Amino acid sequence: MSSFIYGFLSRTLRFTLKLLLGLFAGIFAISLLVAALLVVALNLLTSLITGRKLAPGMVFGQFQRFSPQGMWPSGPARKGSAKVSEVVDVEVREVHDEKHLP
C-alpha cells in the first residue's frame, strides 16, 4: 500500500512541477513578446516625433544603396550610379578645426 501512495505522490509532484515550469516558460515568453512590442512602439513613436526614419530601415537602405547590382533584385534601379570599373577623382582639401582638443 505504501508503494502505491509513494508512486501516486511521485507522479503528482512530477506533474505539478512540469505544469509549474511550463507556466513560468509561458509567462517568460509572453513578457519577452510584450517587451519587444513596447520597444518597437516606442521606436516608432520617436521616429514620428523627430521626423526621422526608423533605424533598421535606414540600415537596410544603406545596404541596398551601397551594395553591388543584383544583390537586391527587388530594389529600385540606380540611374546615375557609377559602374564598378569607373574611378571618380575628387579634389583634396584640408579641413581646419577651430576647436583644439586638450
pLDDT digits (tens, 9 = 90+) for 52-102: 877 777 777 776 677 666 555 555 555 555 455 677 788 888 877 777 655
Q: Give the cell for residue 31.
A: 513578457
Q: How far apart are CA 88 and CA 78, in angstroms?
A: 17
Half-sphere exposure of 44 (CA within 13 A, CB side): 6
C-beta of residue 52 within 8 angstroms of C-beta of residue 44: no
Is the pTM above the cut of 0.85?
Answer: no
pLDDT of residue 41: 92
